[in-house]
Structure 1
Amino acid sequence: MPRTEKKGFVDVAAGLEPVGDLPGVGPALQAALQRIGIERIQDLWFHLPLRYEDRTRLTPIRDLRIGESVQVEGIIEAVERSFRFRPQLRVVISDDARTMLTLRFFNFRRSQVEQLNPGTRLRCYGQIRHGAQGPEIVHPQYQRVTAGASEVAETLTPIYPVTEGLGQKRLASVIELALRKLPADEVLELVPPILRKDMQLLSLRAALLLVHRPPADADVAALLLGTHPAQQRLAFEELLSHHLSLRQLRVQIRQHGAPRLRGDGKLRKALLRSLPFRLTSAQQRVNGEIAEDMAEAQPMLRLVQGDVGSGKTVVAAWAALAAIECGYQVALMAPTELLAEQHLRNLGAWLAPLGIEPVWLAGKVQGKARTTVMAALAADAQLVVGTHALMQQGVQFRDLGLVIIDEQHRFGVHQRLALRDKGRAGERVPHQLVLTATPIPRTLAMTAYADLDVSVIDELPPGRTPVTTVALSSSRRGEVIERIRIACAEGRQVYWVCTLIEESEQLEAQAAEVAFAELGGLLEGIAIGIVHGRLKPMEKQAVMDDFRSGRIALLVATTVIEVGVDVPNASLMVIENAERLGLAQLHQLRGRVGRGNQASSCVLMYQAPLSAMARERLTAMRETSDGFVIAEKDLELRGPGEMLGTRQTGRLEFRIADLARDAGLLVEVQRIGAIMSEAHPALCERLVARWIGAASNFANA
């Protein structure tokens, strides 16, 4: 029998029974549940809805608003299939007011088309967006209904994370069985009552029951926004568990030793003498903080955050030389080949005159070239730059002393540790320096990066040209294209960025191809290139090389160019459908221009009418180029581009918490986390296990 603690808050046995103990959960269903991390009954309690669908009412088509998810009902007026660019099914419905709505499908079956006949009544659910003929829903959920059918859902419908072979209805029924075993609060609670008394939180049991079974009188608007007190109660505990896991990680790593990197400074002084610019006072301050960390026998764990163009790469080069001076190797890892190659070029230009040639390792390095690189890493290579390939099996270092990771939020913590472990020697591990160009408000950074010390480069180098930002309706597209013609005639270079709501590399690539063809027809005589995520690495590199060299004047691209592209002659950027992007991503993209000495501009082209939030985002972009001001605004607005991307602990994303939306909880999370770490270590472990489960094993690395 599992041990039971009568004293204190928790019955250790509560919810730890395997899900197979629930009636109707056989081996096949148990296996499907395991694929989404559900092994115990407790895991079902905390398998929380991703969102809710409001199917409690029908919305007249005339009242639809762009961006809202709604349920509508209407009669099919027309059905049209086309195969231009790609197969497409277009269904037009109208309601009793004879107002039209288009339903658009890109993936469909013949049997589906045969059921969608004019005169059929459909009830549909989906997100409204702009279409060529008015409002439309892409890939709505729908069902055929009889005239006069009035049954709609009585409560909000929770939508859970699922997996292949496990649908929403089946999972919801299993969760319902588990909820019947939900124990009393004194058994469930892991955060001592005295620590949360000032927060006036709902009880954990009440919160769980409400989010899984939202009653008819629940605050629908709050639940859809994630601000309901029940969701806030659970978000608080989830944020606390992640914060505690990172504190545990920091303690674990600090128990290791690290090489004392106190070099003679000759290489670093030579670098500073050779640079065509002087370091800013902010860069010098951060260099000093890094030097202090690396001189200790404990591993450095430092995050350097700085705005676009603030000079993080040269700080990374300076840190790398501190390790190389002491005879140690350095590895720099970036999330994309474009960004990694940018680092390779910059570091090569700065360090080659000092006798240091960076080695390159990415997935595309194969055969003899890969064998040569691997041999160099095991022998005399001083610095390697690469992508995820640096973490792969078979990559071995002679003596890795420093790991540098760029765009930290694109990697999980476990990936950072995997690279660190390449340099483990007994109880000694390399120092770690992580970089991000996403400015993060201090409170957010202290919680999201509790395992790291934070340095901020809060000063831009002199000479950076301010970027003038304008927002124009797509109805003025012709004027924008003419502006491109003039810029190219003057010898300047231009980006045209294509965006899509759908997170599909294939659809983004198709959108870029369409823009490429259109602009090619309208701008004859101008060399145009295209780059997107579907191109092979060598094709992508060839296009980028042509753009850097000036052989291409206009580059049509997807958001793949968000980071890692540095072309000083590019002084104009057009972002198509800019209203679809969050502030952080818009700011990153804009950072690709204004890198030379020419006056630079960024045109945010949008589809009218704008939602209130989209208007605020575009206004913020016009009013400031300060990344930290934009970060605060992003935190306030919670745009679709999350400030921290998919910040992960292990590989697990937040189930209910949202760092931007729930920023108000973070001060208490830090306060309670500090007390619990000292006074209740056993409860901390169990809180982390509850929310993070097996992913928390990384803390023992």
Structure 2
Amino acid sequence: MNSLAETPVTRLKGAGPKVAERLQNLGIQSVEDLLFHLPFRYEDRTCVVPIGSLRPEQSAVIEGEVLLADIIFGKRRSLLCKVSDGTGTLSLRFYHFSAAQKNNLERGARIRVYGEARVGASGLEFYHPEYQVARSSLPPLEKALTPVYPTTDGVSQLLLRKLMIEALQILSRQPPRDLLPESVMQQQGLPSLQQALHKLHAPLPDDPVDMLLAGEHPSVRRLVIEEMIAHQLGMLGRRAGQRAHQAPLFETDGLRTSLLGSLPFDLTRAQQRVIGEIDADLQIPHPMLRLVQGDVGSGKTLVAACAALSAISAGYQVALMAPTEILAEQHYRNFCHWLKPLGINVAWLVGSLGVKARREANQQISDGSAQVIVGTHALFQPAVCFHRLGLTIIDEQHRFGVHQRLALREKGHIGDQVPHQLVLTATPIPRTLAMSVYGDLDTSVIDELPPGRQAIDTVVISESRRPQVIERIRNACISGAQAYWVCTLIEESEALQASAAELTCTLLQEALPELNIELVHGRLKTQEKAQRMARFANGEAQLLVATTVIEVGVDVANASLMVIENAERLGLSQLHQLRGRVGRGSEKSYCVLMYSTPLSQTAQRRLAVMRETNDGFRIAEEDLRLRGPGEWLGTRQTGELAFRVVDLMRDEALMEPAREMAEIMQRDYPQHVEPLIRRWLKGGENYADI
């Protein structure tokens, strides 16, 4: 007998090849997939409500007699049917109808209707309700609440409900295996998986629907906890699979001492602590897998350089990968500045390199003459062959994805030995997401800014006050400061963004003729972009007009004022990243968020949060609440989550218990681990082999 997971949805009546193809848009291929497709609300069709007691916006079943059905000609042609049950009269209004439908609603017919009462031209009305007409008696009422499911084109609620009824019948005959330990079920007060699924798809009228929808009912918790445990087991399996490899041993030596001695400042205590955690990892013969989180300007790059020197001292290469050329170039400049005086060769490899420069870079990488290689996605392309890769550093991991991180690691795979991995992010990751997405990594946090850094003052100003903002730019730059003016555009097109930035730059040049103004956007060639950035960095230009390409990787200590126009269009994390381009020196810095009206409630909340705090972790948590994990992570990482039932914000409190239960299951119930991963994670059987 096939399991529910092995029973294709095409075995159900009404799920032919075309329907099955459409169901795939909902992630449904098997009967098990269908049963895990949960309702997002319920309708009560178990009792009849007297028309006379109906209230506006109330959804209900009514029964009565058809008094008339006429076509009404007004602003829009409609079919109006009046129904009476002795307690009152209700109108049914249809804007899309046929002659057969009108004829079926004949005077005197008995009718049962489900809809939402709204105030209309003839009193309370149901618009396009569901109904049944009977010449004699109506069928029995529903015994359970009616579920309402997420749908897709070509798959109606009615079809989903019919398929689900048959799936529940199969579920009754073939109860799925309960893979959670009995002790966990009892401790958490959870029903069996079969009971939970029946309750969620067919709750009784007296069941606590509010608890079901809020995720607080034991039936929901049963699925949530099991899915969370499956994901944590997947993480543990992936971690164990990677830890099973060997990695080179690195010791600290004089190179690091020389670097730190050449700096005009001391490391913060937080930097020293994180470097110590990294050193401990590098002295174990298994690959380091460590995520370093640190707010903008906390000194992550220097921490990475210290780790790189340990690898270089042992005769290995280091690869540093960043998501954009601007950020990669910033790292390249920093590493050249710090490491070239120590006799270390730093190479540069990005997609925009010419054929000759790319060939030279690849040669240096393959023969080992390049000890540090800084670049973008180009680093893990097939043509790139490392001589002896011992450490990979990935910046802004959430811009890539787990598989891209591991693709770079594979470049250094020799026998059973793989490179160590260090992942950096200046986007503080909410704890819930860190446990869900980065559970295979150890985590370090640089929670201290270098001494002398001051908090950035943020003001929120309407677009109508643009002349005052321009005047403020003028005064600041004449006084010796430098400033950014960031242009945002809703469209993703780089051409449109560049055009908007060019127009803004022209207007600012006309308004501020006494200032040297540079323009940077994504359409510029790399060399031209670098030259313009260099003129701003060395003080030749006082104002830099840019698109959001400067979000990361731009470090000009003298820049102390930033204007972000149409700030309401950006998410909190992006606003925080942009704001972090100022406040990098000892001068007091300011960020002006300029908005256009009208503002949505979400936009108002975002701007208020930016004004209230500079704390990146608080901003990240609020951003997650406002946008949800899918948008927060972007498409690359969202695929790593692929939760079916779990709502990360709603179910956050269950994450820690689920992690503990996963460790218990891995230790005490190893026979349940693989089936649980297969049940919840598509392709999960390969998790440990990544």
Per the TM alignment, residue 424 of structure 1 is displaced from its structure 2 partner at its CA by 1.0
Preserved contact between residue 447 and residue 670 of structure 1 (Cα < 8 Å): no
Task: Report which of the two structures shows the higher radius of gyration computed on alpha carbons.
Answer: 2
Contact 1:530/1:557 (<8 A) preserved: yes
The TM-score with structure 1 as length reference comes to 0.74
Q: Give the Å deviation of 1:656.
A: 5.1
Instruction: Give the equivalent residue in structure 2 for 1:315.
Output: 303
> Which among 27, 30, 54 is matched to residue 40 of structure 1?
30
The yes-or-no answer on 1:410 pairing with 2:399 is: yes
2:682 alignment partner, SS class:
helix
Partner of 2:104: none
Q: Could you tell me which residue of structure 2 aligns to residue 596 of structure 1?
A: 585
Which of 291, 309, 331 is matched with 2:319 structurally? 331
Contact 1:179 1:209 in 2 (8 A): no
Shift of 1:404: 1.0
1:536-575 CA deviation, whole Å, 9 max, x = no partner? 5555445434433444433333433222221222211122
Q: Which residue of 2 aligns with 1:17?
A: 7
Range 467-476 or range 385-394, more displaced: 467-476
Q: Which residue pairs with 2:163 in the alignment?
A: 177
Partners of 1:214 and 1:591 in 2: CA distance: 51
Question: 2 CA distance for matches of 1:157 and 1:535?
Answer: 50
* Displacement of 1:479: 1.6
Structure 1: gaps (5+ residues): 3-12, 60-74, 78-120, 123-145
**Which residue number in structure 2 is paired with residue 473 of structure 1?**
462
CA distance in 1, matches of 2:298, 2:327: 16
Aligned to 2:426: 437
Task: Report the equivalent of 2:86.
Answer: none
Shift of 1:401: 0.8
- Per-residue deviation, 1:344: 0.8
- Distance in 1, matches of 2:213 and 2:463, equals 31
SS in 2 for 1:332: strand
Match of 1:484 among 449, 470, 473: 473
Q: Is the aligned partner of 1:560 residue 2:546?
A: no
Q: Does 1:451 align with 2:440?
A: yes
CA shift at 1:259, angstroms? 0.9
Cα shift at 1:431: 0.9
Q: Is 1:294 aligned to 2:294, yes or no?
A: no
Corresponding position: 1:151 with 2:151: no
- Distance in 1 between the 2:360 and 2:599 partners? 54
Contact 2:38 2:645 in 1 (8 A): yes
The size of the alignment, in residue pairs, is: 603
User: Closer, same or farther in 2 for the Cα pair 1:188/1:471, shift >3 Å?
Assistant: farther
Give yes or no for contact 1:301–1:431 (8 Å, CA) kept in 2: yes
CA contact (8 A) 1:638 1:660 kept: no
CA contact (8 A) 2:348 2:374 kept: yes
Q: Distance in 1 between matches of 2:26 and 2:195?
A: 25
Moved more, 288-297 or 476-485: 476-485
Cα shift at 1:439? 2.5
Secondary structure, aligned partner of 1:496 = strand
- In 2, Cα distance between equivalents of 1:220 and 1:488: 61
Equivalent positions of 1:124-523 (< 5 A) are: 150-151=126-127, 158-159=149-150, 167=153, 169=155, 173=159, 177=163, 180-182=166-168, 183-184=171-172, 186-187=175-176, 189-199=178-188, 234-263=223-252, 265-380=253-368, 381-440=370-429, 445-499=434-488, 512=501, 515-516=504-505, 518-523=507-512
One-letter amino acid of the structure 2 residue matched with residue 180 of structure 1: E
Paired residue secondary structure (1:678): helix
- Separation (CA, whole Å) in 2 of partners of 1:367 and 1:590: 37
Aligned in 2, Cα 1:600/1:36: closer, same or farther, shift over 3 Å?
A: same
**How far apart, CA to CA, are the structure 2 residues paired with 1:575 and 1:248?**
44
Cα distance change, pair 344–233 in 1 and its aligned pair in 2 (3 A): farther
Aligned sequence identity (%) = 55
Listed as ranges, the gaps of 5+ residues in structure 2 are: 44-54, 58-73, 77-94, 97-119, 131-145
Paired residue type of 1:623: E
Residues 474-498 of structure 1, C-alpha deviations (whole Å, 9 max, x = no match):
3323321221222233343222234
**What corresponds to 2:594 in structure 1?**
605
AA aligned opposite 2:565: E
Q: Which amino acid in the other structure matches residue 169 of structure 1? A: V
Determine the C-alpha separation between the residues in 2 that align with 1:518 and 1:187: 67
Find the residue that maps to 1:470 and give its secondary structure: strand
The 2-side partners of 1:515 and 1:45 are apart by 54
How far apart in 1 are the matches of 2:161 and 2:262?
A: 64
Report the AA paired with residue 280 of structure 1.
T
Cα distance in 2, alignment partners of residues 472 and 18 from structure 1: 57
The 1:373/1:199 distance shift into structure 2, 3 A limit, reads: same
What is the TM-score normalised by the length of structure 2?
Answer: 0.75
Conserved 8 A contact 1:529-1:554: yes
